[in-house]
Amino acid sequence: MASTASDRAERGRRMLAWLLGLDIIAGPAPWVLWGITAALIVVLLVRRYTGRRALRALLAVVIGGLLGLALSWTLDAIDAFGTPLPDPVKWWAAGCFASVGVGIVSLWESRAPRKIVAVLTIVASLLSGTIGINAAFGLDRNLGDLLEISTLQPVGELPKPVHTAAAAADAPLYTTWHAPAGMPAHGEVRQLSDASRIPSTAGFVPRDAAIYLPPAALVADPPVLPVMVQMMGLPGNPTPTAIQTAVDAFAAKHDGLGPIVIVADQLGSSRQNPGCADSKAFGGVNTYFNVDIPEWIRTHLRVPAAPAGWTISGYSNGGACSFLYGAQHPEIWGSLASQSGEEWPGWERPAPVLSKVFGGSRAAFDANKPENVLAAHPGAYQGRVAVFTAGAVDHIYGPPARHAADLARAAGFTTTFFSIAGAGHVGPALSVGLDETLRVLAPVWGLAP
């Protein structure tokens, strides 16, 4: 009996993991849901109409659609998501509310079977609208990402660390590496939780980090590989889906080579902004990224000792932190990357960061800006590399990203700025931004000519 119960529980866990892992951007699941929703709406609309029923249905569609548009315009106006809403969001909201309206009016003057279909239509419409809006943002790839529920397994065996002297390669790795037979075609992602959790020593309570291991790190005797620490945006969570997709694509073209990536949390919650700094309010965020994580990397991973093999990177809010940390600690981070990043911590909403993180001290707030950090370390960035990317039609975050690149270049970083054609702040701004980051940094890491 115990074995049977255990088997059922395991099947349940596997089913839940499969459900949460469904691709809700590019996979077939959204189209199946949208098709079911459309079919339910057709069932409700195909009926014998009286003048009153026709008017009621028409008003439901018009009023619902206008309410959806009004809600999306209001949320955009008050900057509820911290970024301009993509245009498709408004149309998804209008369509969702219009179809919900059809379901609601179909509950009136109808028999039980029709009421059941109406309720199913309302539920399916809300789900379809949510999935469509998520696809318009293009950031949460699967259902688990959207619900902030991780399906990752805890990390197992990691590549054994090497001594400092052995970590320095005499020649770029791509010239000496030959992929062995049986090397996996794709990398793996794992949760850094429980015994493998990265300790936070200064009071900051991060959500669990994740680690991506490229195919070359999964062989019996893996090479010394570069390491990259990636941060996501606000609101958001430390999901490795985007980086896994980007590095897998890179590794497929480079004999399995790619960076080991730790996707770490600089927020502690999807609704707070610790300003990339150590503070009484949120604890030691800066310490976590520039002391705790580097120490964990050195003691757990087979990575280069020299800063050239170490990169700090981030998207949006995470981009502000990566720029700051790269400026503060060139002795750790040989390169920094910012995908559509804010120019400085708290740039998008300075008031709460000034108040909560810095206790209202304008001097401390300004000292935490990369521009001032760079000015305080003249000559410290020779040989360091900075990569900035932004959507070409991102009129909010694009100009600050370009200005940040100018600041890094003036301070001595070897700097690249890449404008992503047709992209705003979401979707391709992250995915193409990561692709470009890997392309520029591959020669720095010794993974490509």
pLDDT tens for the chain, residues 1 to 449: 455 777 777 777 778 777 777 777 777 888 998 899 999 989 888 877 777 778 887 888 888 888 888 888 888 777 666 567 777 888 888 888 989 888 888 888 778 888 898 899 899 889 888 888 877 776 677 777 777 777 677 676 676 676 444 444 468 999 999 999 999 999 999 999 887 899 999 999 999 999 999 999 999 889 999 999 999 998 888 989 899 999 999 999 999 999 999 999 999 998 899 999 999 999 999 999 999 999 999 999 999 999 999 999 999 999 999 999 999 999 999 999 999 999 999 998 899 999 999 999 999 999 999 999 999 999 999 999 999 999 999 888 999 999 999 999 999 999 999 999 988 888 889 999 999 999 999 999 999 99
- How far from 391 is each of 4, 291, 415, 420, 423, CA to CA, in Å? 53, 32, 17, 5, 4
CA atoms of 241 and 274, how far apart (whole Å): 24
CB atoms within 10 A of CB 364: 15
Strand-pairing partners, residue 235, are none
Task: Kindly report the CATH number that applies to the domain delimited by 152-445.
Answer: 3.40.50.1820
Element (H, E) at 18: helix 2-20
Structure token digits, residue 40 = 């339910």
Burial (CB count within 10 angstroms: exposed 0-12, middle 13-18, buried 19+), residue 448? middle
The torsion angles phi and psi of 337, rounded to 5 degrees, stand at: -140, 140
- How far from 84 is each of 90, 354, 427, 433, CA to CA, in Å? 11, 23, 13, 18
Residue among 141, 363, 370, 365 nearest 263 (CA): 141
Long-range contacts at 51-60 (CB < 8 A, ≥ 24 apart) = 53/109, 56/105, 56/108, 57/102, 57/105, 59/101, 59/105, 60/98, 60/101, 60/102, 60/104, 60/105
Cβ within 8 Å of residue 218, ≥6 positions away: 183, 184, 187, 188
Compute CA 155 distance to the chain's CA centroid, rounded to the nearest angstrom: 20
Coil, strand or helix: which one is 167?
A: helix
Cβ within 8 Å of residue 277, ≥6 positions away: 285, 286, 345, 357, 358, 368
Structure token digits, residue 328 = 């503060």
**Domain spans, the chain:** 26-137, 152-445
pLDDT value at position 22? 76
pLDDT value at position 12? 75
The CA-based angle 211-212-214, given to 5 degrees, is: 150
* Sign of the torsion angle spanned by Cα atoms 83, 259, 267, 325: negative
pLDDT value at position 83? 64
Beta-strand relationship, 310-315 and 278-279: unpaired
Extract the runs of DSSP E, i.e. beta strands, from 232-328.
Answer: 260-263, 278-279, 283-284, 310-315
CA atoms of 18 and 104, how far apart (whole Å): 32
Residue among 305, 277, 316 nearest 167 (CA): 305
CB 396 within 8 A of CB 233: no
Coil, strand or helix: which one is 271?
A: coil
Q: Which residue has the tokens 């941060």?
A: 231
Coil, strand or helix: which one is 432?
A: helix
Q: In the Cβ-directed half-sphere of 90, how many Cα atoms lie within 13 Å?
A: 12
pLDDT value at position 57? 79
Give CA torsion, residues 239, 399, 343, 372, to 10 deg. Answer: 160
CB 313 within 8 A of CB 306: no
pLDDT value at position 165? 43
CB 258 within 8 A of CB 225: yes
CB 342 within 8 A of CB 429: no
End-to-end CA distance of the chain: 60
Beta-strand relationship, 385-391 and 335-339: parallel
CB 282 within 8 A of CB 202: no
CB 415 within 8 A of CB 405: yes
The CA-based angle 394-381-226, given to 5 degrees, is: 75
